[in-house]
């Protein structure tokens, strides 16, 4: 086998110029065509910087097993070009390796080059150094911006061409995107915006890459750019040109999380409903945003107030585990829709709207097996639909799919896939002490609070993005004031956020952070001033820069413009806004890279251990947990800061930020989904567990964890854990197959419930209903206990035909533990 492949490759390199390996991608008004055939395509977003190269093959395989055809990613300009002309494509920024992993898994790739990406990404992916270029205005008809954008897009296009990654070259890339969601913000840019979009389209076309270009949410996309839809539902969307197929680039599988928000969820039933409705309404390509959300490693990743976890409630969780039942319910949906591929892409669609929100769509035509969708859009009432002589039961807010228009194979509200409940297990590394041993050192504030060795000095209060060029979250603004006598005054600082720590004459007098994403606030605190010179040092910290909206890049950050004032008892005011201000970018510890293992800085071991002391660096060593399960570190007890493992950033942490306590109520999949429809974790720490990728860890030797604690915290509770499947459940309708899996090396260790009949309740609280086949428990125990995976066909042959047969449909409910 290997030999003949080599022969073919050898033969081709001389004679056929790889044309045998080449794939022709085009489109018509109906679908993307691959080698001339119209296709139904399922795609999923995975952002390469939000996982590690070691995770990529497994993520791709799980995506493929879940029934995807393609992986979609943005390209992240500010990560690749952190300084103008200095590029980084290493490690988790190795875009080429990522695309090759997609190809290795036998999947297609969709590359959204942007380079504006939104994506809850810091500054929407645009480099902050663009702001330093004279006359540059972003995302509009502006030559300096267009020049920089063209340079970067050309670099990426040249890289993928050189590596033969485009489908016509034999590579996996079938679709590329220029710009992103510009249609949503275009209004305020007026005519310049229209010109810019035309320029983008011309630029894209000029590369002649031989695959279709898309522009999402761009109703006036110039041909041949295809306008595509983003949203929770896309059934009502139509592209503007009869030659453009209906493509859905972002069907949000859940939602992102911010530091002040509870955990958002989107139930599998509703997600499946939206996908089924899209195909019912003649859609042909759909991309899950996100299929794997991942982690915002490093400070430059997450957008404004976005947590370090970017889990997104996606079919693969933050750590790369299969999220059940979402993953399995969609896998089953993909399989049934694929059965109808010919009908959906070559057939005619005939839709009949019935009363009470019911509708029927039949795809039919010469030479194709007809396929049908029966939809119940009614969000409260179930219905029984009489269709071509058969009665079909449709739960509220559900779609039934009949791939042959006769037999219901799938209903979006009937979940046959297993549910897995993940649990966290303590670190079981050998010889790991129960609590970690810490050393520490204070951040050296001595120069900053006295204004020594500034990076530069001005007599204005500058925007933090311009002043620091986003080289750090932290920027010091320092000035002095000469007063004629000792006195108490009120220090008033107007800041555009996000966090402010104020020091007067070396003492921290107060700290404040922007509440609920309202970044502008006024800090006010009484201070005692000494006669003559007083030094006021203000440390401003950002938590990810704005990423969305017209002119979002101009949204201020830091103490831009102030005013900064001292107000006396008689309203006598000293305005410091135009005093001489010194600036220092970043922390001393960041400059000295004290988080690196080879850092030469000295750490304190003895003495009084500082707890709840802001601006403290902490360091400990730990053994990597045994096995291969994903690792997290529990940072409960800490305030806010940044964490590194073996010198690699695992992101910002902020467990002291408690989320809003309202807004969590039992979730219902029925009815139009909103980002806050279904939330958990109200009033709890915004994020307590932080992902430590296995590839960051060394087995059998000590690993280092370094924390920079900005707000004051206590690391004594910090510990490492692994994430595993704890409980598996399933609730399977007769005629389907029960599959239970511990999703890893663990085995099903005990069976709590196995009831065949009409079991009640949900996973964790199943109860026997009015009828139960007594032998069910023994049958399931026999087949499953002791196994890593088991499957049972839920039918009469297994469970008998007579018992409970008066029920209209019998179900098997199972709950088991993995260990
Ligand atoms: C595209 O369609 C929208 C309505 O969906 C319309 O407002 C717009 O003018 C159309 N644009 C073009 C170029 O046809
Ligand atoms: C639709 O696209 C075709 C081919 O790309 C183009 O010739 C035609 O002008 C477009 N029609 C409209 C209404 O934009
Ligand atoms: C849902 O169905 C009920 C009857 O079962 C009907 O009264 C109601 O109007 C329907 N709602 C919608 C939105 O069609
Ligand atoms: C502070 O102001 C007083 C009065 O203007 C002046 O005499 C004194 O020299 C100033 N002190 C410093 C250190 O500049
Ligand atoms: C100072 O100004 C505030 C707000 O303008 C006002 O409410 C207060 O009465 C003033 N105090 C004095 C002592 O003038
Ligand atoms: C620590 O000191 C050694 C020897 O002087 C030097 O080679 C190394 O680069 C230093 N490490 C850092 C992180 O500065
Ligand atoms: C393009 C699109 O459909 N956008 C929608 C996404 O979902 C939100 C929330 O439901 C809607 O407000 C948008 O209109």
Integer Cα distance of 571 and 568 in angstroms: 5
C-alpha span between 443 and 616 (Å, rounded): 6
25's tokens: 């991608």
Give tens-digit pLDDT for 73-124.
Answer: 999 999 999 999 999 999 999 999 999 999 999 999 999 999 999 999 999 9
| Ligand 1 contacts CB of residue 219 (under 6 A) | yes
Pocket test for ligand 2, best of 204, 222, 241, 242 (most atoms within 8 A of CB): 241
Cα–Cα nearest to 31, from 211, 340, 226, 246: 246
Question: Could you tell me how far CA 713 lies from the centroid of its own chain?
Answer: 28
At 230 the three-state DSSP class reads: strand
Overall average pLDDT of the 602-617 stretch = 93
Strand-pair category, 521-529 with 456-458: unpaired
Task: Return the residue matching tokens 């399977």.
Answer: 732
Q: What is the mean pLDDT of residues 424-428?
A: 89
Query: Does the C-beta of 248 come closer than 6 Å to ligand 7?
Result: no
Catalytic (active site) residue 408: no
Where residue 478 falls (left for φ over 0; alpha for ψ -120 to 50; beta otherwise) is beta
Residue to mutate (ligand 1; options 187, 219, 226, 229; most atoms within 8 A of CB): 219
Question: For residues 210 and 314, what is the distance between their CA atoms, to the nearest angstrom?
Answer: 32
What is the Cα Rg of the chain in Å? 29
Mean pLDDT of 335-362: 97
Asked if 625 contacts 722 with a C-beta cutoff of 8 angstroms, the reply is yes
Ligand 3 geometric centre to CA of 507 (Å): 65
Beta strands in 203-307 (DSSP E): 213-216, 226-231, 247-252, 263-264, 285-292
Ligand with the closest atom to the CA of 533: 4
User: In 3D, which of 501, 566, 504 has the Cα closest to residue 540?
Assistant: 501
- 563-567, 609-613, 717-721, 801-805 — which is least confidently predicted? 801-805
User: In 3D, which of 269, 253, 266 has the Cα closest to residue 314?
Assistant: 253
Which bound ligand lies closest to the C-alpha atom of 485? 4
Instruction: Give residue-wise pLDDT tens across range 251-278.
Output: 788 889 999 999 999 999 999 999 999 9
Which residue has the CA at smallest separation from atom 9 of ligand 5? 571
Ligand number nearest to the C-alpha of 568: 5
Q: Is the CB of 223 under 6 A from ligand 4?
A: no
Ligand 4 closest atom vs CA 533: 13
**Tens-place pLDDT, residues 493-508:** 999 989 999 999 999 9
Burial 749-779 (b: 16+ CB within 10 A, else e): eebebbbbbbbeeebeebebbebbbeebbeb
**Is the omega angle on the peptide bond into residue 421 within 30 degrees of 0, that is, cis?**
no
Tokens of 285: 């390509």
Instruction: Tell me how far apart the alpha carbons of residues 177 and 158 are, in angstroms, rounded to a whole number.
Output: 15
Ligand 3 near 582 CB (within 6 A):
no
Name the active-site residue from 179, 181, 408, 709: 181
347: nearest Cα among 375, 374, 333, 367 = 367
Q: Strands, E, within 47-134: which ranges?
A: 70-74, 108-114
Q: Which two three-digit tokens encode residue 483?
A: 């007063």
- Counting Cα atoms < 13 Å in the Cβ hemisphere of 113 gives 24
- Ligand 2 mean position, distance from CA 223 (Å): 6
- DSSP notation for 507-533: EEEEEEE-STT---EEEEEEEEEPSEE
SS3 letters across 623-640: CCCCCCCCEEEECCCCCC
Helix (H, G, I), strand (E, B) or coil at 149: helix
The predicted structure's pLDDT at residue 178? 96
**What tokens were used for 23?**
């794939």
Q: Is residue 490 within 6 Å of ligand 5 at its C-beta? A: no
pLDDT (tens digit, 9 = 90+) per residue, 292-330? 999 999 887 889 999 999 999 999 999 999 999 999 999
Token couple for 479: 């000035």
Rounded Cα gap, residues 609 and 677, in angstroms: 44
* CA-wise closest residue to 569 among 487, 678, 472, 653: 487
- 453 noted as active-site residue: no
| 643 CB-near residues (< 8 Å, 6+ apart) | 633, 635, 649, 650, 651, 653, 690, 705, 706, 707, 708
Question: According to the model, what pLDDT value does residue 251 have?
Answer: 75
pLDDT at 433 exceeding the cut of 80? no
| Domains of the chain, earliest start first | 21-323 (3.20.20.80), 343-415 (2.60.40), 422-443+591-722 (2.60.120.260), 456-585 (2.60.120.260), 734-818 (2.60.120.740)
- At residue 20, the pLDDT reads 52
Q: 49 in helix, strand or coil? A: helix
d(CA 350, CA 352): 7
pLDDT at 431: 61
Per-residue pLDDT of 191-232, as tens digits, reads 999 999 999 999 999 999 999 999 999 999 999 999 999 887
Q: Is the whole model's pTM more than 0.85, yes or no?
A: yes
Residue 348: CB atoms within 10 A of its CB come to 13
Q: Residue 16 — very low, low, confident or very high, per pLDDT cuts 50/70/90?
A: very low
């Amino acid at each position: 086998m290997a030999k003949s492949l080599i022969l073919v490759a050898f033969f081709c390199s001389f004679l056929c110029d790889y044309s045998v390996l080449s794939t022709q991608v085009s489109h018509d008004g109906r679908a993307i065509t691959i080698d001339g055939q119209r296709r139904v395509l399922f795609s999923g977003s995975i952002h390469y910087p939000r996982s590690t190269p070691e995770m990529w093959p497994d993520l791709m395989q799980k995506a493929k097993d879940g029934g995807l055809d393609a992986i979609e990613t943005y390209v992240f300009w500010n990560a690749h070009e952190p300084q103008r002309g200095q590029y980084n494509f290493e490690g988790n920024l190795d875009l080429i390796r990522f695309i090759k992993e997609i190809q290795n898994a036998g999947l297609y790739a969709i590359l959204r080059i942007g380079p504006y990406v939104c994506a809850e990404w810091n500054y929407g992916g645009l480099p902050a150094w663009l702001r330093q270029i004279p006359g540059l205005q972003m995302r509009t008809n502006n030559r300096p911006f267009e020049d920089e954008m063209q340079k970067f897009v050309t670099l990426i296009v040249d890289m993928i061409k050189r590596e033969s990654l485009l489908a016509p070259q034999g590579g996996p890339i079938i679709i590329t995107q220029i710009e992103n969601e510009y249609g949503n913000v275009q209004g305020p840019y007026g005519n310049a915006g229209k010109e810019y979009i035309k320029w983008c389209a011309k630029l894209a076309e000029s590369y002649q890459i031989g695959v279709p270009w898309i522009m999402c949410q761009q109703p006036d996309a110039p041909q041949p750019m295809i306008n595509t839809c983003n949203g929770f539902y896309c059934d009502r969307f139509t592209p503007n040109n009869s030659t453009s197929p209906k493509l859905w680039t972002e069907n949000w599988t859940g939602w992102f999380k911010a530091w002040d928000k509870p955990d958002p969820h989107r139930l599998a039933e509703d997600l499946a409903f939206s996908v089924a409705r899209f195909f019912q309404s003649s859609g042909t390509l759909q991309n899950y945003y996100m299929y794997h959300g991942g982690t915002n490693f490093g400070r430059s990743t997450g957008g404004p107030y976005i947590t370090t976890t970017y889990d997104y409630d996606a079919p693969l969780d933050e750590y790369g585990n299969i999220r059940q039942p979402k993953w399995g319910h969609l896998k089953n949906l993909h399989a049934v829709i694929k059965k109808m591929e010919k009908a959906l892409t070559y057939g005619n669609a005939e839709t009949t709207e019935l009363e009470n929100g019911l509708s029927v769509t039949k795809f039919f035509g010469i030479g194709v097996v007809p396929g049908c969708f029966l939809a119940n859009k009614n969000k409260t009432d179930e219905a029984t639909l009489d269709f071509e002589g058969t009665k079909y039961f449709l739960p509220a807010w559900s779609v039934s799919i009949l791939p042959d228009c006769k037999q219901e194979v799938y209903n979006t509200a009937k979940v046959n896939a297993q549910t897995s409940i993940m649990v966290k297990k303590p670190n079981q590394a050998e010889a790991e002490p129960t609590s970690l041993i810490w050393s520490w050192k204070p951040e050296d504030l001595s120069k900053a609070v006295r204004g020594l060795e500034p990076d530069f000095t001005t007599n204005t209060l500058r925007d933090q993005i311009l002043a620091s060029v986003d080289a750090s979250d932290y920027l010091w603004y320092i000035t002095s004031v000469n007063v004629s006598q000792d006195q108490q005054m009120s220090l008033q600082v107007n800041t555009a956020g996000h966090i402010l720590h104020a020091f007067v004459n070396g003492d921290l007098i107060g700290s404040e952070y922007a509440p609920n994403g309202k970044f502008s606030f006024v800090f006010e605190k009484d201070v005692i001033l000494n006669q003559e010179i007083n030094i006021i040092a203000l440390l401003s910290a950002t938590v990810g820069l704005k990423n969305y909206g017209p002119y979002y890049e101009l949204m201020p950050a830091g103490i831009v413009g102030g005013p900064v004032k001292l107000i006396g008892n008689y309203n006598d005011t000293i305005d410091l806004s135009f005093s001489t201000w010194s600036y220092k970018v970043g922390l001393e510890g960041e400059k000295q890279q004290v988080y690196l293992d080879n850092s030469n800085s000295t750490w304190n071991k003895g003495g009084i251990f500082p707890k709840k002391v802001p601006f403290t660096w902490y360091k400990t060593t730990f053994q990597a947990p045994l096995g291969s399960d994903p690792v997290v570190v529990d940072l409960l007890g800490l305030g806010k800061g940044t964490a590194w493992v073996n010198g690699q950033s695992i992101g910002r942490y902020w467990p002291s930020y408690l989320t809003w306590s309202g807004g969590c109520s039992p979730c219902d999949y029925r009815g139009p989904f909103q980002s806050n429809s279904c939330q958990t974790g109200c009033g709890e720490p915004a994020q307590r567990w932080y992902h430590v990728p296995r590839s960051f860890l060394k087995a059998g030797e000590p690993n280092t964890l370094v924390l920079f604690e900005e707000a004051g915290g206590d690391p004594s509770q910090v510990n490492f854990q692994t994430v595993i499947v704890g409980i598996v459940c399933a609730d399977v309708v007769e005629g389907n197959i029960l599959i239970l899996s511990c999703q890893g090396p663990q085995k099903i260790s005990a069976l709590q419930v196995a009831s065949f009949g009409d079991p009640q309740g949900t996973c964790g609280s199943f109860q026997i209903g009015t009828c139960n086949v007594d032998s069910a428990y023994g049958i399931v125990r026999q087949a499953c206990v002791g196994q890593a995976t088991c499957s049972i066909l839920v039918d009469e042959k297994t469970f008998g035909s007579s018992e409970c047969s008066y029920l209209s449909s019998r179900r098997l409910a199972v709950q088991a533990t993995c260990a």
